[in-house]
Amino acid sequence: MTEPTTLSAPPAAAPAPTGGKPPVRRGPRRPGSRPSLLLSRAGVTAMLGLAALYTLLPMLWLVLSSTKSRQDLFATNGFAPGRHFALFGNLRYLFTTEDGVYLRWMGNTVLYAGVGALLATVLSVAAGYAFDKLAFPGKEKLFALVLLGVMVPGTAMAIPLYLIAAKVGLVNTYWSVFVPGLVFPFGVYLARVFSASYVPGEVLEAARVDGAGEFRTFRRIAFPMLAPGSVTIFLFQFTQIWNSFFLPLVMLSDKKLYPVNLGLYVWYSSALSEGHPQDYLLAVVGSLVSVAPLVVLFLMLQRYWKSGMTAGAVK
């Protein structure tokens, strides 16, 4: 007679740990899961330090070289001070050479960059506001053309602009450099972003209900709200025109119309090709003086620039 099969009881479950949460099983750490050295705090700090050195070392060389006499400039190390402090003598020589042509170049640059960037900012803000708040046929297609203009480098447009200026007789005049600086596609793009972040549509609608026209609404309500963004656009365009070189090189042949960058290039080329070491010193000291207005302008407007750069970061 067959004996009945005895079923064994299942093993008892392990008691749950205190708190009712199951234990977390930790597998072996794989080498690929460790943070990269470049992304660690030490790596990021090292990269920032290298970027700071890359930015500050040329400026340090420029400052030290501008304080040297012509003999010390070629006889001493570039990052070592000269035997004689000759900065004031170098500045006097810079401002009196060729009947003060350097001051004329600086005045031309202020005209091209200052007035041009101011008008370009107004046009860019108005265009960006229109693309954001107004409805008109073909708006997005026109804005796509603006974005296309952002991607085209300025040097690629220099020759076409020269041919157009030659057709209308503007070559070798102030207008040949001034007018192209009024067009700033990237500023239009930024202005549209700033308008979407800073200008509420409800405020504009309330102004229209009160009887204000579109131009008055923009001038009295929207434009003051866009002031931080306008400063950012102005600084970008001012720096771009101030550092412009290839367009004036193509457009201008009269030395009195040169911006400061082109004038410094002429002095530097003269020092290399014609063997005039005094022109090399003029180029070095003139480069230091030409950087000073940009530094002062950024320090004066950095508060507005920072607030403009963070537009739309917090909703």
What mean pLDDT comes out for the span 140-155? Answer: 90
pLDDT of residue 279: 83
Task: Please tell me the pTM assigned to this model.
Answer: 0.80
Q: Are 193 and 311 in contact (CB under 8 A)?
A: yes
Q: Are 278 and 70 in contact (CB under 8 A)?
A: yes
Beta strands in 216-275 (DSSP E): none
Banded model confidence at residue 21, pLDDT cuts 50, 70, 90:
low
| pLDDT tens per residue, range 46-99 | 888 999 889 889 889 999 988 988 888 888 888 888 788 888 999 999 999 999
| pLDDT tens per residue, range 258-298 | 999 999 999 988 888 777 777 888 999 999 999 988 888 88
> Domains of the chain by range and CATH?
91-309 (1.10.3720.10)
What mean pLDDT comes out for the span 170-191? Answer: 94
Give the C-alpha separation, 113 to 262, whole Å: 14
What mean pLDDT comes out for the span 196-205? Answer: 88
| pLDDT tens per residue, range 224-264 | 889 888 999 999 999 999 999 999 999 999 999 999 999 99
pLDDT of residue 314: 43
Give the C-alpha separation, 266 to 210, whole Å: 59
pLDDT of residue 180: 93
What mean pLDDT comes out for the span 212-229? Answer: 88
Give the C-alpha separation, 250 to 172, whole Å: 9
